[in-house]
Amino acid sequence: MDAGGLLLREWAPALFSADGSGSGEALGWGWDGEELALLGAGLRGAKGKLWAEVAGREMEVRGVEREAYPGLDRLRVRLPALGAMSGVRVGVEGQVSNEVGVGVR
């Protein structure tokens, strides 16, 4: 029997999807022509530079705020109109989140 191992980290970035699977359409709101808000976890309090990437291009992270429930974070990202669905992911210090989709017109 393999004893296995358990790796614990102080943070691990993750983005939530609309269907709860961790992939597919992103769970978020509030695109105002310039900024998109996404829901995730493990983003607040991360030590190091938090980055966001959409369709392979780095986007400006404008902030991370605590939401109503413990462990739930709101990530605000500067995002131009994309048209087609594109993948978004975030990361900090070598830790990369799952990829979810966003489509903004």
Which DSSP helix (H) or strand (E) runs through 39? strand 35-41
List residues bridging with 40 in a β-sheet.
15, 73
Domains of the chain: 14-102 (2.60.40)
Read off the pLDDT of residues 8-45 as tens digits, 9 standing for 90 and up: 666 789 999 999 999 988 888 766 778 889 999 988 87
| CA atoms lying within 13 Å on the CB side of residue 89 | 14
Predicted TM-score (pTM) of this structure: 0.80
Q: Rounded to an integer, what distance in angstroms lies between the CA atom of residue 24 and that of residue 17?
A: 6
Q: Rounded to an integer, what distance in angstroms lies between the CA atom of residue 27 and that of residue 47?
A: 24
- Cβ(98)–Cβ(15) under 8 Å? yes
- Measured distance between the N- and C-terminal CA atoms of the chain, rounded to whole angstroms: 53
Read off the pLDDT of residues 55-99 as tens digits, 9 standing for 90 and up: 888 999 999 988 888 889 999 998 776 666 788 899 988 889 999
Cα torsion angle, 45, 48, 51, 56, sign = negative
